[in-house]
Amino acid sequence: GAVVSQHPSRVICKSGTSVKIECRSLDFQATTMFWYRQFPKQSLMLMATSNEGSKATYEQGVEKDKFLINHASLTLSTLTVTSAHPEDSSFYICSARDIGRRYGYTFGSGTRLTVV
């Protein structure tokens, strides 16, 4: 139980273009989802909290206009990296928690973004 699906798993895009990443909770509803970023050989850092039906909250230093988050339903959150640049290349992972079960947080399989 408590499965989170993330797509795509890997994307290569040209500098200046936008990329959308989807995160779905498959067997539970999630009013809150989380987006993390991981640079090579580093830990995961929370970028933003996605709230169903309202604006996302961003961690300090994360540009909300560059990383657009939409959480339009109880099972889907999307992260759009706008006007991507090579420094945005990273591993992006989403997470959600099924508060009805004591499993803690479940993570998607991640998206490896490369901007060329």
Partner 1 sequence: GIQVEQSPPDLILQEGANSTLRCNFSDSVNNLQWFHQNPWGQLINLFYIPSGTKQNGRLSATTVATERYSLLYISSSQTTDSGVYFCAVNSGGGADGLTFGKGTHLIIQP
Query: In 3D, which of 85, 90, 83, 69 has the Cα closest to residue 23?
Result: 69
In whole angstroms, how far apart are CA 87 and each of 39, 104, 107, 113? 10, 31, 24, 10
Restricting to residues 51-90, name those near partner 1 by CB under 8 A.
none
| Nearer to partner 1 among residue 58 and residue 68 (C-beta) | 58
| Binding residue (CB under 8 A) for partner 1 from 3, 12, 46, 72 | 46
Under the criterion CB under 8 A, does residue 5 sit at the interface with partner 1? no
**Residue 33 near residue 95, CB atoms below 8 Å:** yes
Query: In 3D, which of 74, 67, 82 has the Cα closest to residue 37?
Result: 67
| Binding residue (CB under 8 A) for partner 1 from 11, 44, 62, 74 | 44
Q: How many residues bind partner 1 (CB under 8 A)?
A: 24
| Nearer to partner 1 among residue 51 and residue 70 (C-beta) | 51
* Alpha-carbon radius of gyration of the chain: 13
From 21-29, 38-46, 61-69, 71-79, span contacting partner 1 (CB under 8 A): 38-46
Q: Which residues pair with 37 in a beta bridge?
A: 45, 92
Residues that bind partner 1 (CB under 8 A): 32, 34, 36, 38, 42-46, 49, 91, 93, 95, 97, 99, 102-107, 109-110, 112
